[in-house]
């Protein structure tokens, strides 16, 4: 219980810092260092030579160090095959970048194909902490991602101009809800966007890459000061 409360407090603190940073050096264009792509995981491995990184998180391609009570991040080396370029310049078919995760178990590693946000700092590419979308093929042969509860409920949600739409996924996309209380299920997996059956939340709505990019621009990336609309 106390661990869960600590994690919540951790995320709240990160959000506050992101919002504060958004007011520094405002720009109405995207940072040149940002690169967004859809990629297939080749490898994602913990850097065993970095027992506990002095970097806590990556905001706008830069590292941030928290106070002593804050547990710092685990460092990972990631390599992906680029399937589609969404934003930014990059002239190779594969990409290597550094990823940091507070829990030591990156959620992005659970998916083979993702839309990833990275930034360059001092010549090195870093994953914008926690910023990715799992991607799935549709019956039309396009990539898409399920309705993003977290992004559509971001504190900057009033800035959002895109809307979720019904997506014809090639295979059913679902999330287990077996360990969630019914009230929690209704809050996280709204029946407006998900169908609950067999202790699973089946995705009905989602977005294609272009709108997913806009969704991040208008919420998290705006909060981090990468883009101000």
8 Å CB contact between 24 and 225 = yes
In a domain, 226, yes or no: no
In a domain, 15, yes or no: no
In a domain, 84, yes or no: yes
Strands 205-207 and 165-166: antiparallel
In a domain, 168, yes or no: no
More confident residue, 109 or 10: 109
In a domain, 37, yes or no: yes
Q: Provide the pLDDT for residue 217.
A: 95
8 Å CB contact between 29 and 1 = no
CATH of the domain at 102: 2.40.50
Condensed to tens digits (0 to 9), the pLDDT of residues 177-186 reads 999 999 999 8
Q: Provide the pLDDT for residue 206.
A: 98
- The share of the chain scoring above pLDDT 70, in percent, equals 76
Going across the sheet that includes 143-146, the strands are 136-137, 143-146, 205-207, 165-166
In a domain, 53, yes or no: yes
Q: Provide the pLDDT for residue 229.
A: 59
Helices (H) and strands (E) in the chain, counts: 5, 14
Condensed to tens digits (0 to 9), the pLDDT of residues 147-206 reads 999 999 999 999 999 999 999 999 999 999 999 999 999 889 999 999 999 999 999 999
In a domain, 34, yes or no: yes
| Cα 92 versus chain centre, distance | 23
End-to-end CA distance of the chain: 39
More confident residue, 20 or 92: 92
Count of domains in the chain?
1
Q: Provide the pLDDT for residue 12.
A: 44
3-state secondary structure of 151: helix
Would the pTM count as exceeding 0.75?
yes
- Domain containing 69: what range? 27-137
Average pLDDT over residues 213-220: 96
Total Cβ atoms within 10 A of residue 186: 13
Give the C-alpha separation, 194 to 210, whole Å: 22
Question: Which structure tokens are listed for 131?
Answer: 């910023």
Give the C-alpha separation, 202 to 209, whole Å: 20
In a domain, 127, yes or no: yes
Length of the chain in terms of residues written: 229
């Amino acid at each position: 219980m106390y661990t869960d409360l600590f994690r919540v407090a951790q995320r709240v603190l990160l959000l506050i810092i992101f919002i504060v940073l958004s007011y520094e050096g405002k720009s109405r264009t995207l940072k040149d260092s940002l690169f967004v792509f859809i990629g297939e995981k080749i490898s994602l491995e913990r850097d065993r030579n970095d027992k506990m990184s002095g970097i806590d998180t990556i905001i706008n391609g830069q590292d941030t160090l928290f106070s002593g009570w804050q547990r710092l991040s685990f460092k990972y080396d990631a390599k992906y095959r680029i399937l589609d370029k969404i934003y930014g310049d990059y002239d190779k078919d594969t990409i290597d970048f550094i990823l940091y995760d507070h829990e030591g178990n990156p959620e992005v590693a659970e998916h083979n194909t993702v839309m990833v946000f990275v930034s360059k700092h001092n010549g090195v590419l870093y994953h914008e902490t926690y910023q990715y979308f799992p991607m799935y093929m549709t019956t039309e042969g396009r990539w898409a991602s399920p309705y993003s509860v977290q992004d559509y409920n971001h504190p900057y949600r009033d800035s959002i101009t895109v809307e979720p739409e019904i997506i014809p996924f090639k295979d059913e996309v679902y999330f287990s809800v077996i360990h969630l209380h019914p009230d929690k299920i209704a809050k996280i997996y709204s029946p407006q966007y998900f169908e609950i059956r067999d202790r699973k939340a089946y995705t009905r709505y989602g977005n294609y890459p272009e709108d997913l990019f806009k969704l991040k621009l208008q919420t998290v990336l705006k909060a981090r000061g990468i883009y101000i609309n």
